[in-house]
Amino acid sequence: MSLKLKDKVAVITDATSGMALATAKLFVEEGAYVYITGRRQEQLDQAVKEIGSNVTGVQGDAGNFEDLDRLFERVKADHGHIDVLYTSAGIGHWGIGIDTITPEEYTRVFDVNVRGTIFTVQKALPLLNKGASIIMTGSIAGVKGLPGMGVYSASKAALRSFARTWTLELEPQKIRVNVISPGSIDTATFDGVPQETRDIFISKIPMGRFGESEEIASTALFLASADSSYITGAEIFVDGGLAQV
């Protein structure tokens, strides 16, 4: 069986844990050389160790322009191009409604989720090969009304909109742009959440369970590879049916 990402170069932001780390591992298994980022050097070093080979960790914050420049300068010096860009960096919030949202909280969420994604893509453009794949991390929150999560939900809806626009803007380079929108995935986000709360979440999921990080990774592999050669401008939900029925 041939490797789906043989000799490809991939960049995955904020890939020190959870879904993005699982994706980095799978990409390497499928033949890619992967660059990952993380804000904390210790966690980044541990992720690189877990991935094991064909990986470079570049410390940095996806919302910091100098860090992004340093990341892509490193990729340019080492390989000169990018075949897959997976913008995974993001932050959320809970329990902050229209009556309590502050300008500072709005800026915090939009700076990372929207501004950070826009300029990660923009700064990567000179390195993206013809036919490259851009993958962004959305959320079911982008299509659902979730009290206390309005700003986060809006930030993810913005990424869905950019995918449509960038699909047309990048068509001359045959660059595909797609969004993966996870539902409830069993990551550190749910660490410490009481079992009764987890059970409430699970009761709303048609498939009756949380998703696994590896299920996000396999979807990212699909979008990164030639298997999805006729898919662009799309949002793929990996949510056990939660936002679909």
Count Cβ atoms below 10 Å from residue 172 Cβ, excluding itself: 8
Whether 244 maps to a domain, the answer reads: no
Whether 1 maps to a domain, the answer reads: no
d(CA 55, CA 66): 21
Percent of the chain with pLDDT over 90: 85
What pLDDT was estimated at residue 94?
Answer: 79
Phi-psi region of 14 (alpha: psi -120 to 50; beta: other; left: phi over 0): left
172-217, pLDDT tens digit by residue?
999 999 999 999 998 877 776 678 878 888 999 999 999 999 999 9
Q: Which of 66, 74, 2, 89 is nearest to 34 (CA)?
A: 74
**What single-letter amino acid sits at 88?**
S
Helix (H) or strand (E) holding 76: helix 65-78
Q: Among 33, 35, 86, 152, which one carries the catalytic annotation?
A: 152
Whether 195 maps to a domain, the answer reads: yes
Verify whether residue 106 is a known catalytic residue. no
Average pLDDT over residues 98-125: 95
Asked if 160 and 218 count as a contact pair (C-beta separation under 8 A), the reply is no
Helix (H) or strand (E) holding 8: none
Number of domains observed in the structure of the chain: 1
Q: 218: which 2 tokens?
A: 């396999």
Whether 88 maps to a domain, the answer reads: yes
DSSP one-letter code for 112: I
19-67, pLDDT tens digit by residue?
999 999 999 999 999 999 999 999 999 999 999 999 999 999 988 999 9
Taken in order 7, 8, 9, 13, the sign of the CA dihedral is negative
Percent of the chain with pLDDT over 70: 99
Helix (H) or strand (E) holding 85: strand 82-87
DSSP one-letter code for 4: T
Which domain does 71 fall in, by range? 9-238
CATH number, residue 80 = 3.40.50.720
Whether 184 maps to a domain, the answer reads: yes
pLDDT reading at 135 higher than 90: yes
Average pLDDT over residues 121-130: 98
Which of the four pLDDT bands, split at 50, 70 and 90, describes residue 143?
very high
Whether 4 maps to a domain, the answer reads: no
Q: 78: which 2 tokens?
A: 């080492």
d(CA 106, CA 197): 27
Q: What is the mean pLDDT of the chain?
A: 94
Which of the four pLDDT bands, split at 50, 70 and 90, describes residue 145?
confident
Q: What is the pTM of this model?
A: 0.95
86-111, pLDDT tens digit by residue?
999 888 887 899 999 999 999 999 99
Q: Which of 218, 214, 216 is nearest to 239 (CA)?
A: 216
